[in-house]
Amino acid sequence: MHRGIWWARLAIPVIAASGAALIVLALQPSARATVPEPTAPVTGNATYFDGLGAPYGGCGLPQAELETQNFVALNVFDTPGDGTFYPRPLSSANADKMGIWNNGHNCGRWVRVKIGDYCTGVNDGALGQAFCRNGAFTADAYNDGTLDMIVADSCGDSNAWCRDDKYHLDLSKDSLNKFVKNGAPMPDLYPNHWNNRHVSWQFIPAPSYTGDIKIGFLNGAQRWWPAIAVSKLPNGIHGIEYYANGTWTAAAMNGDMGQSYIIGGTVSGGTDFRIRVRDSSDALLFGGREYAFSLPAACSSQCSQAYTQATYTTTSTSTSPSPSRSVSSSPSVSTSPSRSVSSSPSRSASSSPAPAGGCTAAVTTTGSWTGGGQADVRVTNTGTAPTSGWTVKFTLPTGVSIASSWSAVVSQSGQNVTASNAAYNGTVNANASTSWGLVFNGPNFAVTGVSCSAR
């Protein structure tokens, strides 16, 4: 399956005869999906496509700038039997036609894809026709092959794949023979064992996340049309806010390219920018971390390349309008991110007692999937003065281990876990809280012996 690429600018700069820059806006009201987001593995048909095309995929990034070349497209529309092309981004009036693409709001998220049953019949994606006609979906030796992939594009074609199948995934062709089962690769899945077979999938936090986000300016970007793309995200992106004239303002998404936004300068028409990012849970990324950067010298007139990376400095203080900034060596500086919240509701929690003048820790399971899950640990200062640091300890159930963590320095000895604050979140004001998170391997996270000590 090969698809065309959707790309549209939200605001296009027009240079008047006097040299002044005017802004022509093509704003369209957009909506969030009314279809519930899957919080557990779902099953759909899988197809493939050759690549993102040029210059951008549906999320607003060139293919070369993706974190991985294993990527997927999600359905723009949920219109069974209806191949009509509705205007994008979908307006509130068409919200009932919205697919899991969610007007770009699921861009940049990771999915864990597992190979399912093979079709022995006709599986051609004819609109309004049954999948796997004159045959049946059958398990074979390729079932349960797994690969982690990133959402980078959209599927809006007028066929059954993109319209009739709510949980259809369109996979990058080069990824088809990279699935792994029981630690062994499956290099011959495609073409002889493919036939648009079933897959199951679910959203996951970015696997083994380290470092920080990347920011780049898009082709044509300039001081009057500062179009950026944000990537290398721990848990997707739902919005960008920029600091201008003393206040934070929500940026407009660039069409429905969910990782691209039109921001503004700290002063009108300026070339210095400050932003903060909201992840797929609508939480401010890394506790409200701010990113300060300037229009690159290569874009002094306007950016001529599809993507021009920006170098930024950061601060973890989001409340002060003029915070002190800590310089990062590059946009991929190695810092520990704060929690990335899964869409699953909290299922279990365990809290430490509240020592006088100390802290408490509440451990909450925020999501689960086959063989693991995600948890949040909230540290609250119960004293009367700010802490200078904190340490949380607890014991894991037998058979459970920590796979990755963020916003804390974590060690595990047997089933005992010790976590201390990161460099940027040791100070917690009286009656205030901070959080760190983790991904675990194992059946559950019903921890015991939770304790917290403050310095």
Q: pLDDT tens digit string along 25-35?
A: 334 445 555 55
Tokens (6 digits) for 205: 């936090």
Q: 139: exposed, middle or buried (C-beta count within 10 Å: 0-12, 13-18, 19+)? A: exposed
- The C-alpha angle with vertex 36 and arms to 31 and 37, in degrees rounded to 5, equals 95
**pLDDT at residue 35, as a whole number:** 56
Look at residue 286 in the predicted model and tell me its pLDDT: 95
Low-confidence ranges of the chain (pLDDT < 70): 1-36, 317-357
Enumerate domains of the chain plus CATH numbers: 11-204 (2.40.40.10), 214-327 (2.60.40.760), 348-454 (2.60.40.290)
- The predicted structure's pLDDT at residue 328: 39
**Per-residue pLDDT, 1:** 47
pLDDT, residue 38, reads: 83
CB 51 within 8 Å of CB 131: no
pLDDT of the residue at 352: 56
